[in-house]
Structure 1
Amino acid sequence: MKSHSIRQPVFFVSHGGGPWPWMPALRKQYMQLEQSLSQILKGLTQQPQAILMVSAHWEERIFTVQGAQHPTMLYDYYGFPQETYAIDYPSSGHAELTKRVVEQLQAANIDISIDNSRGYDHGMFAPMQVINPKADIPVVQLSLKKGLDPMTHIILGRQLAKLREENILIIASGLTYHNLSQFNATAEKESGLFDTWLHETLVNYDTDIRNQRLIHWENAPAARFAHPREEHLLPIMVAVGAAENEQAIRNYHESKFLGGISVSGFQFGHL
């Protein structure tokens, strides 16, 4: 892929629960998130050639990238209406982007494999249904690496950064709060403490200090309450690595989500 004069920004999005964009009653609770997601492509100087999506819902022993030309759907949620197990986000894959991801990681001696059969999970298709409902921009997913080591994922992001100059939009998809046993107003205090720390870390600190705070994220207030398991936080590390020397802005925030949960989304780099 050719370099462009425009460097695409990087986004971290909170992707919400299950197939919410296809559920009118549930969408009412996601109005602010939907508004934020719907503005991502509208704010870009140039429509991306393809999107690289790092989803919290895919972990592998080594980093793994999608290779399918037409990925199927993975309905990786439970307890939702039957019709939500037949929804479709008909995006295509992108062979050249898959190749470039492999090249970039191999150049840094990072193990990488291609999965030609894996489909899209809801960490991809839920936000993408709002970001680009036309599904006319190819999307390739890239996994997290088991062990969920923060520095490993920051380094991954560094190796992906060059793709931004090739008109590739990088979107990291997770949730800034992900304690499913406390996903209601009882989490108001703890989710607020962690969200405040994360906002300060990403927005107020430059590269070295920001990285160190993220590497030691478990020291943050209410860290393990907000993330009993950190797979939904790790995509942020990839976004930070891909925009390591660039300031973040918070482009989405709610402090009363589902009655009291604090959640956020971030953009790195200029539009």
Structure 2
Amino acid sequence: MTTRLPTYFVSHGGGPWPWMPDMRDMLASLDTALADMPRQIGRTPKAVLMITAHWEERAFTLGSNPAPGMVYDYGGFPAHTYSVVYPAPGAPELALRVQGLLQEAGLPVALDPQRGYDHGTFVPLAVMYPDAKVPVLQMSLRAGLDPAEHIALGRALAPLRDEDVLIVGSGLSYHNLRNFGSGGRAPSKAFDVWLQEAMAASPSVRAEALVNWESAPAARICHPREEHLLPLMVAVGAAYDDAAECVYHDETVFGGVTASSFRFG
């Protein structure tokens, strides 16, 4: 019997940082944390299901292309970062399996045979699995960004953990592009203290805290728009009863911002 895989929420950093030496040095602790995930997991999964903060659709949408291209969804970076290629194969059969799970759960789901990997997907994976041999299924958030619905999505995906599929929510625990540097230091720290406490709580308390995340200290300063927090809801839902562990924590990101990542199970 295959051992159940954990789930992860990863703070994926900024833009195409692995291909920019100065930025990669700044994010050295994130680099180390992402690179350590295969060791933590203990084996190579059959596939990675990546829920990316950089894709929203009216229904939860799955990339069904067997050979996805690239989506360079960032701006103002060096020219070479717009020719980066992460050639991991897609996972169209897994897309059909996930489609069935969501239909059974009564959640809206669609397939997209065209969309390529955005940087919420290819950036962390390029550090986790640099050889790009593990098949990848990219999945969108749902427009409206309802926390409870994204926890329900995670719960529908939970059987995949017993099918050797690694579920990763890719976002950022602090995401206010207009308030990096010293201005983000205090709010990001306050929000992270709340987040650490929420993740350490019992399953029902943790889920309730996430549904009501806007009541957290500095919540709307840290997330003027919550798309980078929603992948956490999916990772928690898929490992609903499992304990959390903080696997990445840095208080110096982007000039003083605090950011964290978590493993569940």
Task: Please classify the TM superposition score into its range, dividing by the shorter chain length.
Answer: over 0.9
Q: What's the counterpart of residue 244 of structure 1?
A: 240
Q: What's the counterpart of residue 166 of structure 2?
A: 169
Is 1:52 the counterpart of 2:49 in the alignment? yes
Runs (4 or more) in structure 1 with deviation over 3 Å come to none
| Alignment TM-score, normalising by the size of structure 1 | 0.96
Matched to 1:88, the amino acid is V
* Distance in 2 of aligned mates of 1:46 and 1:257: 30
Question: 5 Å matches for 1:53-202?
Answer: 53-202=50-199
* Distance in 2 of aligned mates of 1:260 and 1:183: 8
Shift of 1:255: 1.2
* Distance in 1 of aligned mates of 2:86 and 2:211: 34
Q: Is the 8 A contact 2:180 2:256 kept in 1?
A: no
* Distance in 1 of aligned mates of 2:171 and 2:110: 22
Q: Which runs of 5+ in 1 are unaligned?
A: none
* Distance in 2 of aligned mates of 1:200 and 1:255: 17
Q: Which runs of 5+ in 2 are unaligned?
A: none
Shift of 1:45: 2.6
Q: What's the counterpart of residue 208 of structure 1?
A: 204
> How many residues matched?
265
Matched to 1:123, the amino acid is G
| Alignment TM-score, normalising by the size of structure 2 | 0.98
Structure 2 residue matching 1:125: 3-state secondary structure: helix
Matched to 2:105, the amino acid is A
Aligned-residue identity in percent: 49
* Distance in 2 of aligned mates of 1:174 and 1:95: 23
Question: Which of 246, 260, 266 is the matching residue for 2:262?
Answer: 266
Q: Is the 8 A contact 2:47 2:135 kept in 1?
A: yes
Q: Is the 8 A contact 2:48 2:167 kept in 1?
A: yes
Deviations 1:220-257 (A, max 9, x none): 00000000000000000000100000010000001122
* Distance in 1 of aligned mates of 2:134 and 2:239: 22
* Distance in 2 of aligned mates of 1:156 and 1:74: 24
Shift of 1:185: 1.9
Shift of 1:258: 2.5
Question: Which of 215, 222, 225 is the matching residue for 1:219?
Answer: 215
Question: Which of 250, 253, 261 is the matching residue for 1:254?
Answer: 250
* Distance in 1 of aligned mates of 2:198 and 2:5: 22
* Distance in 1 of aligned mates of 2:138 and 2:206: 26
Shift of 1:187: 1.2
Shift of 1:26: 1.2
Shift of 1:46: 2.4
* Distance in 2 of aligned mates of 1:46 and 1:232: 28
* Distance in 2 of aligned mates of 1:258 and 1:76: 19
Measured on the aligned residues, the alpha-carbon RMSD in Å equals 0.8
